Homo-oligomer: A and B are copies of this chain.
Amino acid sequence: MAQNIYDDDEFFEAYSRLPRSVNGLDGAPEWPTLVEMLPDLDGTHVADLGCGYGWFARWAMSAGAASVLGIDLSEKMLTHAASRTSDDEIVYQRQDLEHLELHTDHFDVVYSSLTLHYIVDLDGLFREVHGSLRPGGGLVFSVEHPLFTAPSNPSFVDLPDGPRVWPVDHYLLEGPRTTDWLAPGVVKQHRTIATYVTLLRRSGFELTAMVEWGPSDAQIAEHPSWTVERDRPPFLLVSARRD
C-alpha cells in the first residue's frame, strides 16, 4: 500500500492552505505551461491520477470533456472533491496507484499532477496507463524535477564569497528520499529524467514533449523571489502518446 500522507491531519491542514489548494489551477504556477501540453479535450474521456480536490476534473468538464474519472488514495481529498461537484460525468474513485486498475482501450487522456514521484512501481503504472489509453491517446504529467528531489539536503545554500547554489549530490542514486515537506517523514521517489524517458519507452509510449519548468518573466515580475527557481527547476512536465 502506498504512503497516504494526505489523510494525515497535520499534512492535510498544511496542504489545504497552499495556494494551489485555495486557488486551484490558477494557484499552480506551472499550470499555464501544462495546459498547453494537453490535447483538445472536447468529447474526450479523461482520467486524473491523484485528483486531490478535483480542480482539474471540473476544469476538464468545462473544457468539453465527456467524462472524467478522478482517482486518489486519500479519503479526505475524495470527500472534498465529491462535495464540490454535482456533475454525473465526474466520477471519483479510491485506488492505490501502486496497484492501479483501469478499463483497457478507454481513455483519450490520462493526466497526473505532482503525484507520480510518490510511486514506487512507476513501470507498472505506466504499463497500466498505456493499456488504458485508446491508440493515439496521450499521457500528460508533472512531477517534482529530479534536481529538486536528488540532494541529501534539498535547500539552497549561500557559498562563502560565492553565489547561492542548489547543492546537488546523489543525482544518479535513485530511490526513496525522506523530506519534511508540510509534515515530517514524507517519502518521495527520486528518479532521473532519463529513467522517466526509459520507463515511458519501455511501456510503449512515444515521448512527445518535455519541459523543465521555470517561472516566466511575467511571473518573476509579480513574484521576484521566484527567480531562484531558474537556478534549479522545481517541476518536470512530460507528454507522451500511445503508439
Q: Are A168 and B165 CB-contacts (below 8 A) given A192-B212, A198-B210?
A: yes
A9 → chain B, closest Cβ, in Å?
A: 33
A170: B residues at CB distance < 8 A: 230-231
- For A195, the closest partner residue in chain B by CB is B212
A209 interface residue per 8 A CB criterion:
yes
Chain A interface residue count, CB cutoff 8 Å, equals 38
Residues of B within 8 A of A166 (CB): 167-169, 171
Q: Judge if A201 is at the interface, Cβ distance under 8 Å.
A: yes
Query: Please, which residues of chain B bring their CB within 8 A of the CB of A157?
Result: 159, 162
Are B232 and A212 in touch, CB under 8 angstroms?
no
A205 → chain B, closest Cβ, in Å?
11
Question: Which of A90-98, A109-117, A129-137, A146-154 is the contact stretch?
Answer: A146-154
Could you say which residues of chain B place their CB within 8 Å of the CB of A160?
160
| B-contact bits for A33-58, CB 8 A (1 contact / 0 none) | 00000000000000000000000000
Are A169 and B231 CB-contacts (below 8 A) given A153-B163, A157-B159, A159-B157? Answer: yes
Would you list 24 pairs from A and B whose C-beta atoms are within 8 A, ordered by A residue?
Answer: A147-B171, A152-B163, A153-B165, A157-B159, A159-B167, A160-B160, A162-B167, A163-B167, A164-B169, A166-B167, A166-B168, A166-B169, A168-B168, A168-B231, A169-B232, A171-B230, A192-B212, A193-B193, A194-B211, A194-B212, A197-B210, A198-B209, A198-B210, A201-B207
Across the A-B interface, the 7 shortest Cβ-Cβ residue pairs: A165-B167, A172-B214, A172-B230, A169-B231, A166-B168, A194-B212, A194-B210
